[in-house]
Each structure stands twice: as C-alpha cells, then as structure tokens.
Structure 1
Amino acid sequence: MVKEIEINKTDKFTQYLEHLEAGKRLQEDWINHGIDCVDLYFEDIDSDWLETWGYDDDEPGNIEKLTTFLESDDVVAVKVRERLQDKSLDEIIAGLEYCLSQLKEEDRIFAAKDFLVGDVVVSGRGNASGNGDINEVELLELAEDLMDKLREILG
C-alpha cells in the first residue's frame, strides 16, 4: 500500500527563503565584524564549554565514574589495582578508555587483557612486565569481569 503524503510547496519554499536570509545575515556579519561575528551568534564563547562538553551538571562524567569504581572495594576493582599497582590512577583510566574505544566486544576484552598484562602502552612509556607466572585464563576472566563492570557502570 502506498502512503500518500501531502507536500505543501509553499511551506518548503518559505522555509528555504528563511534559511537563505539567515545565511545572508551571517555572511554580512562576517564581512562587517570578521571573526568577532561569532560573538553575535554564541553567548559566553570564552567559557569552558569545550572542556565540559557532554557533562550534565547532575550526573558525573565517565572519568568520575571510573575513578569511583577503581577506588572502591569492588572485587574486580581490587584485582585491577593489585594487578596494575605500578600504574597511577590516571594511567589506569587512560588504559580503560582505550579498551572501551574498541569497536567489537571481543576486541575490548582482549585489549583489557593486554592492558592488565602490561602490553598496552597508553601514556607513552613502556610498561611491559617480565612476569613469567601470568595465568592467561585468570587474566582473561578478569578482563571479562572488568568489561562487564564497566558496561554496567557506564551504560
């Protein structure tokens, strides 16, 4: 069945004219004011809006959530801290953000495992541990538990 949609050409043309007029005003402001024309269109352009982009005032951001989790007494958080005791909290968070940036779930888990082993360099300094008694199965389980926790915390 074909659904017929009535298109009012006058409305579309009127909308087009409004957009065209707005574009002309912007061009005119650019010619008259130069880069300062931005102030005409955006209020408080010099504030910290870029640093706080995406953060709600009511809800903590991902970094705060990760920090709270890593500092908690959660079993997974304790194991991660023990495993990465030579890394700072910022380095651990950067590593976790890298792991979470992987597109596929299995890639995230293996990136987390590699990070827990110390094979992933995030902050520019190498940190591969020469620990020969690494239990691959336990590390993979910890990586899976960690990714599950992060998915639960970050949504």
Structure 2
Amino acid sequence: MVREIKNDRPSRFEKFLRHLGEARKLQDDILKYGLAAADLYCEDVDGDWLETWGDEENTFLESVVSFLESDDLVAVRVRKQLKDKSLPEIASELEKCLSFGEEEEQIFALKNILAESVTSGSSYRDISDEDDEIDLLDLAEELLEKLAEILGDD
C-alpha cells in the first residue's frame, strides 16, 4: 500500500510568510520599544522563567524514558526493536521525530528510527518483505499516539 502525500507547498509558503511577518514585527517592536518590548511578548517577564528554562524538555524526556521502561505493549515492542540503544538515547531520538510538523512526517521519522536496527546489521536489506514494513509502520503509528498522550495533546 502506498500513501500519497499531499503537495502542500502553497500552505507551507503561506506559513513561512506569516512567520516572516511576525519576525519583522518583533524586530520593529524591539527597535521601537527597546527592552520594554519584552512586556509585549512575554506574560511573566520578571518571573523565574529563565531559571526553569528547559524543565519541560527534561520532564518530557523523563516521561518518555518512564514509558519505555513500562510494561506497555508498545514500549515493549520499541525496546525489542531498538535493543542496542539506551532508553535515554531512544527518548531523545523520539523527541526529534516530534519536531516534524505533519503527523505523516512524524510517523515516517519514527518508522525510520525503528528500521535502523533492522538495517544496521547489514548493508543491504530486502525491501520486498512487506509484512515487516507494515509492522514497523503500525508500531510507529501506535508509538506516535503514546507520545501524544505523554505530551498531553489528546
């Protein structure tokens, strides 16, 4: 089964233009208001946000490692598939996969990570085994659902 991926270049271009406009507005506000521009963009400028910077990331990685250590069927299958990697290393790679914008891109990035252990043992892999490909894709989709639960995106 082949999935068709939509050509979303116009929407990606519109998104790029929107972000470019936002960046220009930020730059103009910084030039116009100086340091006071931070009040326009941050709710809690005087808070402890600098001291707690990155805590969410560590919490997410810790949550993923805890998930991978669990007896959840998906976690067990991921550990079995990536048996040569440490759990923190796996969690870090999974986090990188979530940085892709589209769900389909995230699924295929996860599938590629899961497939690395299959391809690392040999320089040539027989791609004709569709069952393995489908199993990896199913596992990647299930894993994405679990990671979304950890993030609280449900």
Calculate the TM-score normalised by the size of structure 2: 0.57
Q: Distance in 2 between matches of 1:81 and 1:43?
A: 40
1:93 aligned residue (91, 94, 97): 91
Q: Distance in 2 between matches of 1:43 and 1:153?
A: 26
Q: Is the 8 A contact 2:107 2:137 kept in 1?
A: yes
Gaps of 5+ in 2: 1-32, 37-45
Instruction: Report the count of equivalent residues.
Output: 104
Corresponding letter in the other structure for 1:128: S
Instruction: Kindly provide the CA deviation profile for residues 46-89 of structure 1, in whole angstroms up to 9, marking residues without a partner as x.
Output: xx82xx31537xxx810111111010000000000000000011
Residue 73 of structure 2 corresponds to which residue in structure 1? 75
Contact 1:76–1:146 under 8 Å retained in 2: yes
Q: CA deviation at 1:129?
A: 3.7
Distance 1:114 1:85 in 2: 15
Q: CA deviation at 1:43?
A: 9.5
Q: Which has the higher contact order (CA 8 A, sep 6+)?
A: 2
Partner of 1:141: 138
| CA contact 2:61–2:92 (8 Å) conserved in 1 | no
Q: Secondary structure at the match of 1:61?
A: helix
Q: What is the root-mean-square deviation of aligned Cα atoms in Å?
A: 3.2
Instruction: Tell me the TM-score normalized by structure 1.
Output: 0.57
Q: Which 4+ residue blocks in structure 1 deviate beyond 2 angstroms? A: 127-134
- Which of the pair has more CA radius of gyration? 1
Contact 2:97 2:110 in 1 (8 A): yes
Tell me how far apart the structure 2 counterparts of residues 43 and 116 of structure 1 sit (CA, whole Å).
41
Q: Determine the C-alpha separation between the residues in 2 that align with 1:139 and 1:86.
A: 17
| Paired residue secondary structure (2:68) | helix
Whole-Å separation in 2 of the counterparts to 1:143 and 1:43:
39
The percentage of counterpart residues that share the same residue type is 48
